[in-house]
Amino acid sequence: MKTIIEPFKIKSVEPIKFTTPEEREEVLRRGFYNLFLVPAEDVLIDLLTDSGTAAMSAAQWAGIMQGDESYAGARSFYRFEKKVKELTGFTNVIPTHQGRAAEKILFSLVAGKGKFIPNNSHFDTTRANVEFAGGEAVDLPTAEGQDPEAIADFKGNMDTLALEAFIRKTGRENIPLCMITITNNSGGGQPVSMENIRETHRICRKYGIPLFLDACRFAENAYFIKKRETGYADKPVKEIVQEMFSYADGATMSAKKDAIVNMGGFLGLNDESLAARARNLLIVTEGFPTYGGLAGRDLEAIAQGLDEVLDEHYLQYRIRSVEYLGERLVKAGVPILLPPGGHAIYLNARKFLPQIPPEQFPGQSLVVELYRRGGIRSVEIGSVMFGRMTAAGTFVPARMELVRLAIPRRVYTQSHIDYVIEVVVECFERRGDFPGYRIIEEPPMLRHFTAKFAPIR
């Protein structure tokens, strides 16, 4: 088998800035050891997120020039709507400025007090929108999905036995809809099988509960199904996508992921009366239903991106480049969450830095060292993000201490990834020297974005 290469050539480039160790030390100090507070310009390889960080294609940029900016009924809207309908089959397609705007509208309408929304794993904005509306977000991942070292094909699956038990206990009238997140972002970018989507659909149908997909990475999920699930090897990814959506009554989507654009999203729905109410809310907060918070040019770029993301050479390269990073790290003995997901590698910081206790934030320590040694920006997903203090002042750590290396779409080449591997391996060899951190200032909510840290010497 030959090397799987980037299925594109580069037409336009953006320089990245090299810094000296002294400069990086100063950047860290000025940013209080929080990489969210570091200017992107001072980052060499930015793996903070795969959301909205993709490189658009020449055809997408051409679409930007062709965008129809008419207030109502823009040609670009109809192109976007046609593409989304072709893939999803939903009768109503409502554009929003990003995924969370679709979530906000949907859950404002259905998730009031006393309502429960089950999901394989809620993404943080999804959970926040359910809770903000007064409802309760319930995660039902499988047991293997929660084991960072279990190797399995579909660790993103919903625990369907738990789902049915939950519906019986809670009462179908208290569950306005059920969701499946593909791929399961909070669970490590792990895919969900078609069988699991079908079974979830069957259970939902039995109890009369609509099923929605949180469809941000639908194409990556479909590609995993093609590669791993019996019966799909010879099916075009597009048909797999259409089958996945055929089991759903609606979807929320962040176009910043698998539509390969920098901003955008949509809400898809089959329920006409819910769609009418959603459009009324859209007009208040986002805009008229044929643009919904986006410019016509954005809708063009999304329509084009939804085509490009289904190119199987693209998907092969995408999934393989993440797997390659994971494989090389495993070979060097670096502990990661297994198997590699679709959009990111998660370093297991608890194993990487066992000498740093969770209350001294091993993930944060590793994030700082990756920048210090290589100018790489990553993100802590551990006790900085999810740890908390009880009223009595005891520290409750996160379930896992992870550092996510998210791979932007079509942005970095294999040599960039090789460099990342070298830096991670160097950190692994020097791991005994890394300090823990303490928080010197933090906001009351979502502290990881703005907290200030100091090393514990």
Interface ranges with ligand PLP (CB under 6 A) = 51, 98-100, 123, 125-126, 181, 185, 214, 216, 254, 256-257, 265
CB of 32 or CB of 346, closer to ligand PLP? 346
CB of 388 to ligand PLP, least distance (A): 23
Rg (CA), the chain: 22
Q: Which is nearer to ligand PLP, 34 or 190 (CB)?
A: 190
Cβ at position 252, least distance to ligand PLP in Å: 7
Question: Rounded to an integer, what distance in angstroms lies between the CA atom of residue 377 and that of residue 38?
Answer: 9
Are residues 385 and 442 in contact, defined by beta-carbon separation less than 8 angstroms?
no
Q: Is the distance from CB of 326 to CB of 339 less than 8 angstroms?
A: yes
CB distance 275 to 92 below 8 Å: yes
Cα distance between residue 457 and residue 443, in whole Å? 24
Any idea of the CA torsion for 212, 323, 49, 264, to the nearest 10 degrees? -40
CA 17, distance to chain mean position in Å, is 27
CB of 348 vs ligand PLP, minimal distance in Å: 21
Nearer to ligand PLP, 83 or 100 (CB): 100
Residues in a beta bridge with 441 = 452
- Shortest Å, Cβ 32 to ligand PLP: 25
Alpha helices per DSSP H over 171-246: 194-207, 218-228, 237-246
Q: What's the min distance (Å) between Cβ of 377 and ligand PLP?
A: 18
| Residue with Cβ nearer ligand PLP (34 or 121) | 121
Specify the residue, 42 or 214, whose C-beta has the smaller distance to ligand PLP. Answer: 214
User: Nearest approach, Cβ of 427 to ligand PLP (angstroms)?
Assistant: 27
Cα(139)–Cα(118) distance, integer angstroms: 6
Of the two residues 111 and 216, which places its CB atom closer to ligand PLP in the complex?
216
Q: How far is the CB of 123 from ligand PLP (least distance, A)?
A: 3
* Close Cβ partners of 186 (under 8 Å, ≥ 6 residues apart): 121, 122, 123, 124, 139
CA atoms of 22 and 25, how far apart (whole Å):
5
Which of 302, 366 has the CB closer to ligand PLP? 302
From the CB of 194, what's the least distance to ligand PLP, in Å? 18
SS3 98: coil
Minimum distance, C-beta of residue 450 to ligand PLP, in the bound complex (Å): 18
| CB nearer ligand PLP, residue 98 or residue 196 | 98
Q: Report the nearest approach of ligand PLP to the CB of residue 279 (Å).
A: 19
Task: Name the residue nearer to ligand PLP (CB basis): 265 or 374.
Answer: 265
Count the helices and strands in the chain (H runs, E runs).
16, 16
Signed CA dihedral, 351, 127, 154, 199: sign only: positive
Q: CA 344 to CA 27: how far, in whole Å?
A: 25
**Smaller CB distance to ligand PLP: residue 49 or 360?**
49
Residue nearest to ligand PLP (CB): 99
- In whole angstroms, how far apart are CA 16 and each of 37, 61, 214, 361? 18, 21, 33, 29
Task: Tell me if 425 sits within 8 A of 352, measured CB to CB.
Answer: no
Q: What beta strand segments (E) does 296-448 contain?
A: 344-348, 376-377, 379-381, 388-389, 395-396, 402-406, 436-441
